Amino acid sequence: MAPPSKYSPEFREEAVQIALRSSKTISEVARELELNPETLRGWVKKYEKQQEPAPDAELTVNERARLKELERRNRELEMEVTFLKKVRHERGRLLAVVE
C-alpha cells in the first residue's frame, strides 16, 4: 500500500486550478509551488480525466439547448453562403454582359 500523501486534497485541488488557469507551464507552476513537475502533471491529468463525461453519457438540458442553437445557427450560415454564391454568380454574368 502506498504511504499517505504529504499533500492535502485541498492543496492538490488548488495547485491543479492554478496550473489550469495560469498561462505558465506546469513546470513553472510546480517550481513556484515547490512541487515535482511530474507530480503536478499527474494531478492535472487525473483532474482532467475526472472532468470528461462518460462516452455513452446523455447530453444535459443545457448541452441539448446549446446543440439546438448551434444547429440553427449553422443552417442560417449555410443559407447565407448559398445566397452569396448566387449573388456572386449573377454579378459575374452581369459583368460579362456589360464588358
Tell me: the pLDDT tens digits for 15-63? 999 999 999 999 999 999 999 999 999 999 999 999 887 777 888 899 9
pLDDT at 99 over 80: no
| Structure letter (DSSP) for residue 33 | T
Q: How far apart are CA 98 and CA 86, in angstroms?
A: 18
Specify the pTM.
0.53
Would you tell me the crossing angle of helices 37-51 and 9-21 to the nearest 10 degrees?
A: 90
